[in-house]
Structures are given as structure tokens and as C-alpha cells.
């Protein structure tokens, strides 16, 4: 069986799996290998089905998902953030609603020298959170699921999500960029560190 045939079988198996999907956890080698650039390894209809299913996984779970997190080693990711947080949190974190974005072979380029440091979590690192400094503004260049290229500037929380997801596609986890002494269980973060106006969900997982 060719590598492409194996990928097609793997995607079909994923789409048939019970929902919500079991997200690949830290320690699995697929999270530490750079994803394979997407160049048509999947039939167009199957790619469309995969991206749509990845979006359907997000509500109530996270704000982004990269294909390696569900065992598919391709440079694909999706982002969507309704930003349903208190106004004070939204203002502090520059968190605005981010409509759905399909990221095929994405490249993120920092803009300016400003960084923001906030707690961040990850669907592939269950139960933990840590402070990560990220570029406050970036340029995102990618293709959508139909192969149309696009570029856009992102700032604040959407820029953080884009950096987190493209890191996944390069075999990087947020823990690699985190301040080690800030590492906490989510429960202890909510108990000791979360500002009082937060609802315990400051850093939606990606």
C-alpha cells in the first residue's frame, strides 16, 4: 500500500471514529515530527470532509485543531474562536471573535517586536497550563481547503491561536515555549492564578 493510500485509510478511520475524537497526547511521536506539506494527498471531497469534521470538534472543546493532533501527519489546521469571555478578559487579552479559518500549509511571520505573555493550554497536553510569550501581531499566509491562497494580519488572541497551531505543524508544543516555573494544573491555575473576573477558561485549548 502506498503512503497516500495509507493516509486516505487513516482519514476514513478517523471520520468513522466516535465523537468527540480522542486527541493525540504529548509523548506520541506524531506531535514531534514536522507535518508533511499538503500537496493533494487526499481526494478533494475527503479533504473537505476532514476539515469540516475538525471544525465540528471545536465547540466547547477548543479554539483550534491541527491534523497531527488527531493522528494525521499533514500540514492542515482549523481555527475558530467565538471569544465568549467577560469583557474585561477580552480587553486584557485582545481577544476578539475569530471566524472559521482553514489553514493548509500555513506560514506565520511575526510583525513588530511586541509580545504578550498569557497562560495557554493545549488539547494534546491535558490538564496543564503555562505562561507563553507570543508575538502580538503576525501575518498568516496559507491556503484554504479549496486551494485558494490568502494572507491576513492577525493580532491579539487570534494571532496566538495561529502561532499555536502552526507550531503543531512544525512538531512544537506550547510547553517548548512556556515559562517553566509557571506550569500548573488547570485546577490549580483556576484556584490560585486566574483573575477573579475570569470564568476559569481564560486560555481555550488548541
pLDDT more than 70, % of the chain:
94
Give 3's pLDDT tier (boundaries 50, 70, 90): confident
Least confident range of 34-38, 111-115, 158-162, 199-203? 199-203
For strand 76-81 and strand 98-110, is the pairing parallel, antiparallel, or unpaired? antiparallel
76-87 burial, b at 16+ Cβ within 10 Å, e below that, comes to bbbbbbebebee
d(CA 87, CA 203): 15
Catalytic residues: 165
What is the reported pTM? 0.94
**Half-sphere exposure of residue 59: CA atoms within 13 angstroms, side-chain side:** 5
Which pLDDT tens digit goes with each residue over 142-187? 999 999 999 999 999 999 999 999 999 999 999 999 999 999 999 9
Amino acid at each position: 500500500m502506498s503512503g497516500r493510500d495509507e493516509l486516505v485509510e487513516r482519514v476514513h478511520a478517523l471520520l468513522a471514529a466516535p465523537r468527540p475524537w480522542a486527541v493525540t497526547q504529548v509523548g506520541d511521536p506524531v506531535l514531534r515530527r514536522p507535518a508533511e506539506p499538503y500537496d493533494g494527498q487526499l481526494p478533494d471531497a475527503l479533504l473537505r470532509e476532514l476539515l469540516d469534521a475538525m471544525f465540528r470538534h471545536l465547540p466547547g472543546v477548543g479554539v483550534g485543531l491541527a491534523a497531527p493532533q488527531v493522528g494525521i501527519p499533514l500540514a492542515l489546521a482549523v481555527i475558530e474562536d467565538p471569544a465568549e469571555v467577560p469583557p474585561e478578559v477580552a480587553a486584557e487579552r485582545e481577544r476578539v471573535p475569530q471566524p472559521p479559518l482553514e489553514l493548509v500549509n500555513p506560514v506565520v511571520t511575526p510583525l513588530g517586536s511586541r509580545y504578550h505573555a498569557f497562560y495557554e493550554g493545549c488539547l494534546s497536553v491535558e490538564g496543564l497550563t503555562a505562561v507563553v510569550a507570543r508575538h502580538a501581531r503576525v501575518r498568516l499566509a496559507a491556503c484554504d481547503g479549496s486551494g485558494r491562497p490568502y494572507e491576513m494580519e492577525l493580532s491579539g488572541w487570534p494571532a496566538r491561536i495561529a502561532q499555536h497551531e502552526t507550531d503543531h505543524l512544525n512538531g512544537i508544543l506550547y510547553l517548548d515555549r512556556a515559562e517553566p516555573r509557571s506550569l500548573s494544573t488547570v485546577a490549580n491555575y483556576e484556584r490560585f492564578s486566574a483573575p477573579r473576573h475570569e470564568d476559569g477558561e481564560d486560555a481555550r485549548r488548541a
